[in-house]
Structure 1
Amino acid sequence: MTKPILLLALEEGRLSEQHLARLRELAPGYEVIQSRDETEIRALIHRIEIVVGDIPWELLGEASRLRWVQLWGAGADWLMRYPEAARHPFILTNASGVHPIPISEHIFALLLALARRLPQAFRAQQAHRWESPDWDDVFELAGKTLVLVGVGAIGERTAQVARALGMAVVGVRRDPTRPAAGVERMVSPDQLLDVLPEADFVVITAPLTPETRGLIGREALRAMKPTACIVNIGRGAIIQEEALIQALQEGWIRGAGLDVVATEPLPADSPLWDMENVIITAHYAGKTPCYDERAFAILEDNLQRFLAGQPLRNVVDKQAGY
């Protein structure tokens, strides 16, 4: 009898031979195949039962045996582009838990760089100029208020680090009755405009969903203090970019740290490139040498659960998108 397929649709080199051997040991009833080639996947689609990574989603209609997809990342906003995936009965899980350490550290790299005017210092260094900012042009994080939009695993670790630095944290999540370590007060998204005037920093860690798309626009940016900064490591489309550019140019807010933007790569003619009060990183907040080991640990655990008929970790609500 032909075995069903466990397809590893990952970039070459993400998994070692030891990883592959471990998967074959755990799932002897499956043929483990590693491929990202669309032609090859199309030829095998009727036998694929488990996918690690992602496949060309337009093939879903032919994936009659597909039961489970384990993403290698956390984001599932692609579901909005492929509604047939939300209707398909397969279970979708993600790699939530891989990112909290590198992304929270990236967030604070951006916050501290904005607070200590490091971009300006780097430019002065390149020009061989000895420049020191005025006393009021730098500031401390201690005693400041951070409004955290999205309090999942990344948001919770960000809150804990913020509290350790002496900051007050207000969380914004769909269910404000769920507490989170480090968050002093939790509010719902419909209270966002009420808490934004309190913020010295607004940090966006939320996923992109129909509800969060365009969440931060002119009204929200106008509600912030002119001394406040915004940091986005969620998805670029959560912020209305034209409104953000206007806010930065006209001084509605002090600055921004952007690891994600609406169009990636950021177009060369975007005004954001040349703004002294903006730090841009190329969507790499989640990168770490530890990434694949952490993601494999989630896969290994979930594979054992799947084969034993147990509930899986990190199940994504395909209708909600996270």
Structure 2
Amino acid sequence: MPIRPRVLLAAATTLSLYALLAPAHSLAANASAQEPSAAQLIERLGLRTAAQPVRARPGWRPPRIVLVSEQLHHLLPVLQQQAPRAKLIDIAAATPREIAAADATIGVCSAQVLAQAKQLQWIQWPAAGVERCVQQPLMRERQPLLTNLQRTMGPTMAEHVLGMMLVLSRHLDYFLKEQQQAVWAQDSAPRLADLEGRTVLVVGLGGIGTEVARRAHAFGMRVTATRASGRTGPDYVSYVGLPDELLKLAKDADFVVNCAPLTPQTTGIFNREFFESLKPGAYFISVGRGRSTVTADLIAALSGGKLAGAGLDVVDPEPLPSDSPLWRLPNVIITPHVSADTPLAEEQRTALLRENLRRYVAGEPMLSVVDIERGY
């Protein structure tokens, strides 16, 4: 395949092999045997457990009808094991009467379903980012229980971030291109750089950001971060600031990593003012949400030499149009929102879906409850 500027050929090949050798439906079929236990998952990922059992919520009852997203159809058999007395229905096959009587949904949060499902008590979102769900007006009006898959994809996405950082700092894409031409480019190679001793600013020290920070620290990097929920953080983060300290912290960063959820407060925060605050030679990595970045301002920073390079797994808009200048800039890595698409992440997502369904049926405290007003 032809090389686009700074596209990760090796990563793309690996992901393609995963898609061929370990499709999602085959992973689901072996879920019971391969998934970690609930206790292991909670400890490994630091999942948050609700303070109160879900049975204490007004309106709770063991679910009779659970609507499941078409994209999760392959998980119906393993999910049904957790709710043997409930009727789990693919939303594409659900009748208007079944939708109206639904107690819960997994991966379904459309305006149409919310309007029809007036008895709906619980929504399990099948990803970490919940912006498409919480933006529905009926969510704030009715305040159903909303849970997500936060932290299940953090380790996998953090590896993707470090991979991008290494490709950029070591110019591995340059050497791949020279290799295809059978060129021994020792004398003409660009100058390589170490990660050790560099400063990385993690914007959004949540489940993904914490895993990025952990791995960056292991590489000998100094880690700073911002988070909206307070200044606390793990020992390997040298400073945790509030969101209004973004520009101050960005001035000292060699790498900035966007791990923030998309909320009204984070939309467009990586703009012209932000990029102008960076020191020359800094790199920008984005795995959070594309709309946190003003694309035109990012292109200007890259084209003008303010940024040394960027690694983008999320962009705005998605899919990225073929005429976007980002495709042709020589200092950009683009992956198409695939940083969480690995067998490990799939295993952990499935395990949390199963465990939260089991907990809801039993009336136990739920995992990964979302604050609808805050959006995460």
Considering only aligned residues, what root-mean-square deviation do their CA atoms show, in Å? 2.0
The residue that corresponds to 1:126 in the other structure is 180
CA contact (8 A) 1:150 1:173 kept: yes
* Residue 44 of structure 1: how far off its partner (Å): 1.7
> In structure 1, what is the Cα distance between the partners aligned to 2:318 and 2:223?
30
The yes-or-no answer on 1:297 pairing with 2:351 is: yes
Of 299-308 and 238-247, more deviation after overlay is shown by 299-308
Amino acid at match of 1:278: V
Report the number of matched residues: 314
When residues 135 and 197 of structure 1 are mapped into structure 2, their CA distance, relative to the original with a 3 A threshold, is: farther
The residue that corresponds to 1:49 in the other structure is 103
When residues 133 and 62 of structure 1 are mapped into structure 2, their CA distance, relative to the original with a 3 A threshold, is: farther
Superposed, which structure 2 residues align to 1:219-258 within 5 Å? 219-258=273-312
When residues 21 and 12 of structure 1 are mapped into structure 2, their CA distance, relative to the original with a 3 A threshold, is: closer
* Residue 306 of structure 1: how far off its partner (Å): 2.1
Per-residue deviation, residues 10-48 of structure 1 (Å, max 9, x unmatched): 42664273x1442234xx2x2122x141x7354421111
* Residue 160 of structure 1: how far off its partner (Å): 0.9
Residue 148 of structure 1 aligns to a residue in which SS? strand
* Residue 181 of structure 1: how far off its partner (Å): 4.4
When residues 123 and 36 of structure 1 are mapped into structure 2, their CA distance, relative to the original with a 3 A threshold, is: farther
* Residue 318 of structure 1: how far off its partner (Å): 1.1
> In structure 2, what is the Cα distance between the partners aligned to 1:317 and 1:21?
27
CA contact (8 A) 1:42 1:59 kept: no
The yes-or-no answer on 1:24 pairing with 2:80 is: no
Per-residue deviation, residues 46-72 of structure 1 (Å, max 9, x unmatched): 111111112433221221111101111
> In structure 2, what is the Cα distance between the partners aligned to 1:69 and 1:93?
6
Residue 322 of structure 2 aligns to a residue in which SS? coil
The yes-or-no answer on 1:85 pairing with 2:85 is: no
The yes-or-no answer on 1:7 pairing with 2:80 is: no
> In structure 2, what is the Cα distance between the partners aligned to 1:48 and 1:13?
17
The residue that corresponds to 2:128 in the other structure is 74
The residue that corresponds to 1:61 in the other structure is 115
When residues 317 and 172 of structure 1 are mapped into structure 2, their CA distance, relative to the original with a 3 A threshold, is: same
> In structure 2, what is the Cα distance between the partners aligned to 1:21 and 1:80?
26
The residue that corresponds to 1:191 in the other structure is 245
> In structure 2, what is the Cα distance between the partners aligned to 1:80 and 1:101?
25
Superposed, which structure 2 residues align to 1:81-230 within 5 Å? 81-132=135-186, 137-230=191-284
> In structure 2, what is the Cα distance between the partners aligned to 1:12 and 1:202?
34
* Residue 180 of structure 1: how far off its partner (Å): 2.6
CA contact (8 A) 2:79 2:357 kept: no
Structure 2 unaligned spans of 5+: 1-62
Which is bigger in relative contact order (C-alpha 8 A, separation at least 6)?
A: 2
Of 70-79 and 99-108, more deviation after overlay is shown by 70-79
Residue 200 of structure 2 aligns to a residue in which SS? strand
> In structure 1, what is the Cα distance between the partners aligned to 2:95 and 2:151?
29
When residues 198 and 45 of structure 1 are mapped into structure 2, their CA distance, relative to the original with a 3 A threshold, is: same
Per-residue deviation, residues 164-185 of structure 1 (Å, max 9, x unmatched): 1100000101133322342111
Amino acid at match of 2:141: R
Per-residue deviation, residues 66-94 of structure 1 (Å, max 9, x unmatched): 11011111111114642222322311100
Amino acid at match of 2:101: R
* Residue 296 of structure 1: how far off its partner (Å): 2.6
Identity %: 35
> In structure 1, what is the Cα distance between the partners aligned to 2:160 and 2:311?
10
When residues 75 and 14 of structure 1 are mapped into structure 2, their CA distance, relative to the original with a 3 A threshold, is: farther
> In structure 1, what is the Cα distance between the partners aligned to 2:324 and 2:187?
27
* Residue 294 of structure 1: how far off its partner (Å): 1.5
CA contact (8 A) 2:67 2:91 kept: no
Residue 104 of structure 2 aligns to a residue in which SS? strand
CA contact (8 A) 1:120 1:276 kept: no
Structure 1 unaligned spans of 5+: none
Residue 45 of structure 1 aligns to a residue in which SS? helix
Amino acid at match of 2:142: H
> In structure 2, what is the Cα distance between the partners aligned to 1:177 and 1:75?
22
Of 278-287 and 179-188, more deviation after overlay is shown by 179-188
Residue 11 of structure 1 aligns to a residue in which SS? helix
TM-score (norm 2): 0.79
CA contact (8 A) 2:153 2:348 kept: no
CA contact (8 A) 1:163 1:182 kept: yes
When residues 146 and 134 of structure 1 are mapped into structure 2, their CA distance, relative to the original with a 3 A threshold, is: farther
CA contact (8 A) 1:259 1:282 kept: yes
When residues 63 and 84 of structure 1 are mapped into structure 2, their CA distance, relative to the original with a 3 A threshold, is: same
When residues 201 and 289 of structure 1 are mapped into structure 2, their CA distance, relative to the original with a 3 A threshold, is: same
